[in-house]
Structure 1
């Protein structure tokens, strides 16, 4: 706790995670604490126990680090506190060594063939086995009782069917899982890990429920022993504050997704219920190459996105500061110094976005049961890119919050909620969204949104009563055609056709629904001499909208966001952006050329406008971005005083234009800029 009684993790923090190796058991705690302090860290993450104990454990199945001769954890805690640092104890309770496995193999994961999930002499613990349910809690009891840790972090909790080499090892079929699943659902474990097995939907929920129960046991154990110790979680179980993680995975399909830091930060805000969150930036490229450092420019792009979306700072090193590739260290150090100077302004802010992007773990988990499920991930990220590149500030709205008692007040913050092909939806979600529309909100949905329930079962009708269509009649795939844009439809003065590739979902329009854009029959595309329209009769609308209560629902029965993810053509972005902008006038505009992200946050009557520069990212390369000049910021409610926190300069706004915006010329934006807008003192 701070002197005022506020937990330290609710104040600005900059964590350095030293993910220790066994050979680091000989380190000098005093020297490491000084290095972390000089690096402008406010806290350090340090190994305590789990796979190996970094202290003299008395538990016989808890393997000791053979390089340790004294009480390294205790010495480090004392050294950290002397330097004014908080210490986060790192526990990895997800695995045990051969010492534990040989004594109790039934505690650990075994696939259907009875093979243990072994990797480099460690064994994956079963969530439902004796290691996770008992012995790990004994380790935790010993560590928390001995050391007054400021917080505790738990690595790789839950089900881990994929090992460090990316190999899928299969679901656990141990006796513990079999009996727990039978007790919960009255049937055997699924034979296959896909929706062709009717039991698989139950298994998805089984994993979620048992993982949450395990996280709750960890939380309760710590709080019984030491209530002041904060629990740093991954957002999927009980915790006091959240630690998410950013790293590349080279096995992911190219191109590299550069928006992972902002995506994780938005998710942390959406599910956090006001808890602080950070997105640890891994110094290394990927698990296989933990000493191949990311460029400093990638770290800076990550940090820019994180602070733009309300996250705290966490930097993750394998080992200590003596990295074989030191290039990122000094630039990261300079950023931490800047954050230390401005942390009070950047922390505990609230998003001022008026647009919500619907984030659904249910739609992700059960996508495989739907017709267009293979597109789900790219639909979501296409919508993300679309909003970001249209410079529309947005938050995530999480399906995990839709049964909150105050959900109506949460949703009322938004003029528009965008649901990208959110096929699977519970009745409770649908009811909350319908109430939001009745109260005056606008929902924009694409594709199969609401066509399935929250277990992937096809509904007889769309989930939303407010939907402009009913009883989807046909899902057509593989279409290669166009939508014709009418002369009076939106603002497309130079574009009359928008291409469609893939899915179109026919449905019966409800009474009073209004249609825009016309789906054309499939056209010839070769040879060129035959490429002209022969039949322009409409085969269906591209946009269907309907009023419901004080609001409306707009449905695009196709996947423009998926096409934007793949092709990046502006007409798909502008179609959705214009539908959003017809609802409300944005409070902040950003003009000028360049690949930038715009977010707006508020704190104590002040406004912070973040501009993040993506010009250094090209495919999978991250280099120093060229400074972007000529950007102008338009403000509807211009404050009296504007300060560029990175450039360190005061800015002034011009007179209001015909639309009511006052414009500020921004200084050149390097990695990012933060504009602080506040009322001048009277």
Structure 2
């Protein structure tokens, strides 16, 4: 007899009730009934940390002043009575004045010795006694009293910004000063900037100590309750992952509508088989926790998440008794749909043949590089152009590149795209070179790999398969064009593509192929003098080198960054053309409308694929309105398909005969928010 799977490896729908102190008088029985009726399979409920929602015996653990009895214990019983799992919420990131006055050395202090206080709570230092010891006493007390199904830990790690968004500075408590000196033999940086020589070391210090803190929490949970699932954020030991989607209005415009899909893809890449969810916050932002998101935004979020294999987590402040109730009924309907169809959405694997390289190291250290300030928009431009080209894609994480099975994992992909991944380690470069030699295609842009994993400039490119040996000169402020020759894109009526900013002049290797030619910089005013002069230069926009059985393609500029900023199709089409030359798509979709398409296979159902189509037509900058139904979409699948069924519309779909390219075509029903098509008998 096989052991039963842990509950978090089955389809789940968590509702997180982030309780306020004044919620201490809630009726656990009524809340459990509401959650069950809402479609939840699990509920996240407060246990302790800043405040105890049970009668604690720990003198420095503040008790909720409104508490009348054992609210946590009553909720656990009610949840289990109604067939719900309960995830205990612990916030060990802060303590109250009670703890601070007893042990101020446990908490964050900036270089001026000021504590990081907000609303009577004090930020705990990752390296202080609250995090290292007292928080674990709280955790032990909670777990010894309650047989929790899961444990969630809020706001772990370094938090230099308070809830009001104010930057409070680097912690300079004695614990941090001593720990940093022991690790690196130097003083802490005074600011978080690469102009301070100690900052690169500080990034490594934060990473190592945060991972160690997460491991300690995990070990404590497993020592006391081995069956309790630890819900983590992907930055340390955990059993399953919970990420979070919220608006964060302070982020620079434009609104990034792909955050749910980005997080879900990252969860898949970093988790390597662990289940993951992306909690959709009911509210707009921390400052406006009673202003709800539109139901249309939640549906776009849910569509993206399930398209990349994520489970569902919905986060409300307090209980279901919300001032703004508009999203609740649509979200409830979605959760019931998910409950009916969850088997098709769990235990699946992406069939994408293209990977977008996601580097946490590059995000941290690219600021030390010449073009590093553009790394985030370059990455998101690459994300957009893949999605808007309707190319299914996964993330490939730098944190998995030392895995023993990395060669096998990379062999699933025809193409790996590295958008301005300036910082690469020697090991990453070696793995990518081996992938190319075995027959893969690497597309790299800008300064990719010209710096090591700490942002230190190399003498040349890290990839030995690169078409050039090194960058010899950088033009930083160009305002010109590339000339497009016949066949270099599929845009028959577009002969120029504009370039703004960086162009990296390289030392090319012998025997490479080139495409696109850089034009001399023209004048742009007055209009009477705006004409192209001179012949195209010999500086290419695309360089390709055959290496082993594969190839590496370098674009010594940043077309993906241009696409993020300007959205012109020629920048997208250059990369789309290069990708389609090297890879056959596992699914095609035709018809008008802004859609994302992914395709996954069911691991326990041979020959069964699940195709997700997500409709973005309701999203306009920061507005998320009801989307129009997209009609006239056609789905093309390579190989034979015996049956096709749409899970949202509930329709059986007719499958046409394969065309000359080997794709069988299916006319889709109208797509409102998203559609999920289950295909049986599809070729593997």
Give the deviation of 1:170 after TM superposition: 0.4
Residue in 2 aligned with 1:466?
A: 465
Contact 2:43-2:84 within 8 A present in 1 as well: yes
Contact 1:591-1:633 within 8 A present in 2 as well: yes
Residue in 2 aligned with 1:383?
A: 382
Give the deviation of 1:658 after TM superposition: 1.5
Q: Take 1:16 and 1:492, find their aligned partners in 2: how far apart are those partners?
A: 48
Contact 1:125-1:132 within 8 A present in 2 as well: yes
Q: Take 1:114 and 1:129, find their aligned partners in 2: how far apart are those partners?
A: 15
Contact 1:246-1:279 within 8 A present in 2 as well: yes
Secondary structure at the counterpart of residue 638 of structure 1:
coil
Secondary structure at the counterpart of residue 665 of structure 2:
strand
Contact 1:638-1:653 within 8 A present in 2 as well: no
Matches within 5 A, 1:250-269: 250-269=249-268
Secondary structure at the counterpart of residue 75 of structure 1:
helix
Q: Take 1:258 and 1:191, find their aligned partners in 2: how far apart are those partners?
A: 35
Query: 1:670 and 2:669 equivalent?
Result: no
- More displaced stretch, 488-497 vs 517-526: 488-497
Residue in 2 aligned with 1:620?
A: 622
Residue in 2 aligned with 1:27?
A: 26
Give the deviation of 1:539 after TM superposition: 4.9
Contact 1:127-1:133 within 8 A present in 2 as well: yes
Contact 1:521-1:539 within 8 A present in 2 as well: no
Q: Take 2:104 and 2:32, find their aligned partners in 1: how far apart are those partners?
A: 39
Q: Take 2:448 and 2:347, find their aligned partners in 1: how far apart are those partners?
A: 34
Residue in 2 aligned with 1:5?
A: 4
Give the deviation of 1:197 after TM superposition: 1.4
Aligned residues, how many?
Answer: 679
- More displaced stretch, 190-199 vs 598-607: 190-199
Secondary structure at the counterpart of residue 654 of structure 1:
strand
Residue in 1 aligned with 2:86?
A: 87
Residue in 2 aligned with 1:350?
A: 349
Q: Take 1:588 and 1:70, find their aligned partners in 2: how far apart are those partners?
A: 56
Give the deviation of 1:4 after TM superposition: 4.5
Deviations 1:246-279 (A, max 9, x none): 0001100111100000000000000002000000
Contact 2:489-2:573 within 8 A present in 1 as well: no
Matches within 5 A, 1:163-562: 163-562=162-561
Q: Take 1:246 and 1:553, find their aligned partners in 2: how far apart are those partners?
A: 35
Secondary structure at the counterpart of residue 582 of structure 1:
helix
Deviations 1:399-449 (A, max 9, x none): 000000100001000000000000001111111101111110000000010
Residue in 2 aligned with 1:609?
A: 611
Q: Take 1:118 and 1:543, find their aligned partners in 2: how far apart are those partners?
A: 53
Deviations 1:98-149 (A, max 9, x none): 0000000000000000000000000000000000000000000100111000
Q: Take 2:63 and 2:536, find their aligned partners in 1: how far apart are those partners?
A: 75
Give the deviation of 1:558 after TM superposition: 0.3
Residue in 1 aligned with 2:641?
A: 639
Q: Take 1:556 and 1:489, find their aligned partners in 2: how far apart are those partners?
A: 13
Q: Take 2:469 and 2:243, find their aligned partners in 1: how far apart are those partners?
A: 40
Q: Take 1:535 and 1:112, find their aligned partners in 2: how far apart are those partners?
A: 58
Residue in 1 aligned with 2:47?
A: 48
Return the match for 1:630 from 629, 632, 637.
632
Contact 1:93-1:136 within 8 A present in 2 as well: yes
Computed over aligned residues only, the root mean square deviation of the Cα atoms, in angstroms, reads 1.0
Unpaired stretches in structure 2, ≥5 consecutive residues: none
Q: So what's the TM-score if we normalise by structure 2? A: 0.98
Q: Take 2:456 and 2:257, find their aligned partners in 1: how far apart are those partners?
A: 34
Q: Take 2:49 and 2:285, find their aligned partners in 1: how far apart are those partners?
A: 23
Deviations 1:55-80 (A, max 9, x none): 00000000000111111111100000
Query: 1:659 and 2:658 equivalent?
Result: no
Give the deviation of 1:3 after TM superposition: 9.1
Contact 2:170-2:190 within 8 A present in 1 as well: no
Q: Take 2:7 and 2:259, find their aligned partners in 1: how far apart are those partners?
A: 26
CA distance 1:168–1:75, change in 2 (3 Å): same
Unpaired stretches in structure 1, ≥5 consecutive residues: none
Secondary structure at the counterpart of residue 378 of structure 2:
helix
